[in-house]
Amino acid sequence: MSPVYFDHNATTPLDESVLQAMLPFFREHYGNASSRHEFGRAARQAVDDAREQVADAVGAHPSQVYFVSGGTEANNLLIKGVAARLKPSQVAVSAVEHPSVTVPVQELREHGWKVRRLAVDHAGRIDMDEAKSALREPTGLMSVMLANNETGVIQDVASLAELARSAGALVHTDAVQALGKMPVNFATLNVHAMTLSAHKIYGPKGMGALILDKRLDIKPQITGGGHEKGLRAGTENVPAIVGFGAACMLASDRLAQSSFNLEQMRGRMNQGLRTMGAILFGDGAERLPNTSYFALPGIEGETLVMALDRAGYAVASGSACSSGGADPSPVLLSMGVERELARCAVRVSLGRGNEMSQIERFLQALQDEIFRLKKLAAIAV
Amino acid sequence: MSPVYFDHNATTPLDESVLQAMLPFFREHYGNASSRHEFGRAARQAVDDAREQVADAVGAHPSQVYFVSGGTEANNLLIKGVAARLKPSQVAVSAVEHPSVTVPVQELREHGWKVRRLAVDHAGRIDMDEAKSALREPTGLMSVMLANNETGVIQDVASLAELARSAGALVHTDAVQALGKMPVNFATLNVHAMTLSAHKIYGPKGMGALILDKRLDIKPQITGGGHEKGLRAGTENVPAIVGFGAACMLASDRLAQSSFNLEQMRGRMNQGLRTMGAILFGDGAERLPNTSYFALPGIEGETLVMALDRAGYAVASGSACSSGGADPSPVLLSMGVERELARCAVRVSLGRGNEMSQIERFLQALQDEIFRLKKLAAIAV
């Protein structure tokens, strides 16, 4: 039996219809989009069409869409690109950002920038007073994610953007986890820049976009040919761009139905987890409909992930991107969770292919594993 | 009838066997390679296997292979990454490098670097005396391509690397056009770093590698998660990495046979072009077996490319990467070609799918177009 995939915040399966949209660009229309012959024109047309699809999905104009190799590159491009064009001042980021934001931001220190970390409350929400207080200092850039990869907690980016704009700061939001799981609108969020990724929405890996207010002057990070209006050099990854466009259309079409289904399943999941004595992180805050982040006190997250893997369930103990480390999640620590408890964190992130019956069986399997692990622990003592 | 593709230096069709190798990683094994469950382990194993395949194809060790989003990113990473770790001095590059080398190198000026352009002779070969003379100045980095994208001219990188090493300079070679068309060996070239791209060898777009001497300390450009041993953050593009590995294996297996076939076809092509009064660029120099770069005096390259496109042949008027501009090729100008003649340049780059009969028909079509264009010109006068 194939294992059950409950790790959709790490990556999603490629939708078969997205793959079907991509295949002609692997097979027949393989031209370089910069070439001036029939193969090139077919590729260019496909890139233009996909740019419209991505723009449509997030309420942006196609001219605001810049294709890059993924969310990490988009975050790096925006942060380093903005900082290179501004006089160093303060950059404000939430305490729960993804490493692809926090690490580039830390690097700005070398160039004279001051980093201000915006604290979050126990549920993982950015404190508005904290944001106001931060913005009293001259601030060049604020970067706040729309939804968190670990907790699924949604930030009030529109309000934060308003505060930031009043203070004269540019605002960026990493919407990688939000896209496809909640409405995402570049115009109504009123940010200057937004990061998207294809492989989190049943699209291909190696593809993402920076949505950018055209009035912003940012320094390109990968230079050479004049691709993407000079902002990102390199031969266009046409099949992946086409796949990203197709995945964006799917995401928009299916959002309402899929949110409803995910919410139902997550509700049952959380109910089951509570009866087992689990502590749910981010509970109470507005959250993505697919994410359950919990801890069973006394059972290490890593241990449980491995046990569940053997039992046929793919879940995560933290962000897949910050792999390897045995350190507790910085996101949880910033929410005031004790280190001991944070080490027990396990994330279940549901997706389109999951069904209620899988949740029921998972809860049973989890119950069994808890029993087994506790027995082992009792023997060890 | 489908047009004939003669633009393999711009990009190649994806080999069907490469696509077949990729498909399971789009469909079943869609995990994030950093995830610690069965889906993640399958993805990680595939990445490891592909790293060995790429290393094998170029005589490197798997630990020297860093996957990035393409040749342009690899060139940027190496140049900017090396420069960030060295005290500014001189960077020496040939006059015929690709924009993904020349543009990042120009940017180093902002950081106090001096750029030394190594002249080439009439056939496009780097002048060894020129290189020696350049290296009398303290030089941090030399970057010289292995084979040129426009002319196909091959540089004696091993000798240049020896000179550079004696002078204490690091050496990088852009081997994007060479790979798959001639033997490429990282160890025997004796360079510190080498750039590869998948889509030039019948692999997927959006994938490349930097082959790097591990003793080199270079600054990562895209940061965040600790992917690729900290040198390049971002979720691994597993299907494309798998495709790159498969394409590298194919390239090695087919090199001898395919070089022979390409050389035969190119020979016939050049013979036909000469009888029409074409001037062949790079003639006399050691060249890739697939590239014909020529000019028919009095016929603009752009015009001829469009005419041939209508006649069903996809060729290029210059590098597809430096698109748009009506300026003559800087590569040709650096070879001492007159501007007027350089504007007439057309590149035919053959590939695995081409056949001798296509060359014969192309030469006939070209003859017809020349006749037609000259008649039009006569009427215009």
> Which residue out of B1, B4, B69 would a mutagenesis test of the A interface target, given it has the greatest number of A Cβ atoms within 10 Å?
B69
Query: CB-side exposure of A15: number of CA atoms within 13 Å?
Result: 23
Q: What is the pLDDT of residue B321?
A: 45
For A45, the token pair is 């047309």
Residues B205 and A237 sit within 8 Å (Cβ to Cβ): yes
For B266, the token pair is 């190119």
Closest to B317 (Cα-Cα) out of B349, B347, B282: B347
Catalytic residue from among B128, B276, B321, B377? B321
For A64, the token pair is 């605001």
CA dist A109 to A104, A114, A118, A174, B46, Å?
9, 6, 17, 21, 37
DSSP code of residue B127: P
Residues A208 and A69 sit within 8 Å (Cβ to Cβ): yes
Q: What is the pLDDT of residue A321?
A: 45
pLDDT, tens digit, 9 for 90 and up, residues A95-143: 999 999 999 999 999 999 999 999 999 999 999 999 999 999 999 999 9
Of A181-190, A303-312, A322-331, least confident by mean pLDDT is: A322-331
pLDDT band at residue B378 using 50, 70 and 90 as cut-offs:
confident
Q: Identify all chain B residues contacting A101, using CB atoms and an 8 Å cutoff.
A: 224
Q: How far apart are CA A84 and CA A81, in angstroms?
A: 5
pLDDT band at residue A4 using 50, 70 and 90 as cut-offs:
very high
Contact criterion met (CB < 8 Å) for A27 and B14: yes
Residues A151 and A287 sit within 8 Å (Cβ to Cβ): yes
pLDDT of B291 strictly over 70: yes
The minimum CA-CA distance between A246 and chain B, rounded to whole Å, is 15
| ipTM of the modeled complex | 0.97
> What percentage of chain A carries pLDDT values higher than 90?
93
Give alpha helix (H) positions in B92-226. Answer: 99-107, 128-134, 157-166, 186-189
Judged on CB neighbours under 10 Å (0-12, 13-18, 19+), A241 is buried
Residues B282 and B154 sit within 8 Å (Cβ to Cβ): no
pLDDT of B319 strictly over 60: no
How many other β-carbons are positioned within 10 Å of the β-carbon of residue A297?
A: 11
Q: What is the pLDDT of residue B374?
A: 86
Q: Which residue has the higher pLDDT, B153 or B376?
A: B153
pLDDT, tens digit, 9 for 90 and up, residues A29-38: 999 999 999 9
Nearest residue, CB atoms, A37 vs list B12, B69, B305: B305
pLDDT band at residue B326 using 50, 70 and 90 as cut-offs:
low
Catalytic residue from among A321, A356, A376, A377? A321
Using a cut of 0.95, tell me whether the model's pTM lies above it. yes
Q: What is the pLDDT of residue B320?
A: 45
pLDDT band at residue A219 using 50, 70 and 90 as cut-offs:
very high
Q: Give the CATH fold of the B16-250 domain.
A: Aspartate Aminotransferase; domain 2 (3.40.640)
pLDDT, tens digit, 9 for 90 and up, residues B276-288: 999 999 998 999 9
pLDDT of A192 strictly over 90: yes
Q: What is the pLDDT of residue A372?
A: 92
The minimum CA-CA distance between A272 and chain B, rounded to whole Å, is 23
Q: Confirm or reject CATH 3.90.1150.10 for domain A4-11+255-373, answering yes or no.
A: yes
Q: What is the pLDDT of residue A324?
A: 52
Average pLDDT for chain A = 95
pLDDT of B1 strictly over 90: no
Contact criterion met (CB < 8 Å) for A224 and B16: no
> What percentage of chain B carries pLDDT values higher than 90?
93
Measured distance between the N- and C-terminal CA atoms of chain A, rounded to whole angstroms: 35
Q: What is the pLDDT of residue B322?
A: 47
For B81, the token pair is 């990454």
pLDDT, tens digit, 9 for 90 and up, residues B4-62: 999 999 999 999 999 999 999 999 999 999 999 999 999 999 999 999 999 999 999 99
pLDDT, tens digit, 9 for 90 and up, residues A86-107: 999 999 999 999 999 999 999 9
Of all residues in chain B, the one with the smallest CA distance to A204 is: B26
Q: What is the pLDDT of residue B325?
A: 54
Q: Could you state, in order of their start, the residue ranges of all structural domains in chain B?
A: 4-11+255-373, 16-250
pLDDT of A55 strictly over 70: yes
pLDDT of B324 strictly over 80: no
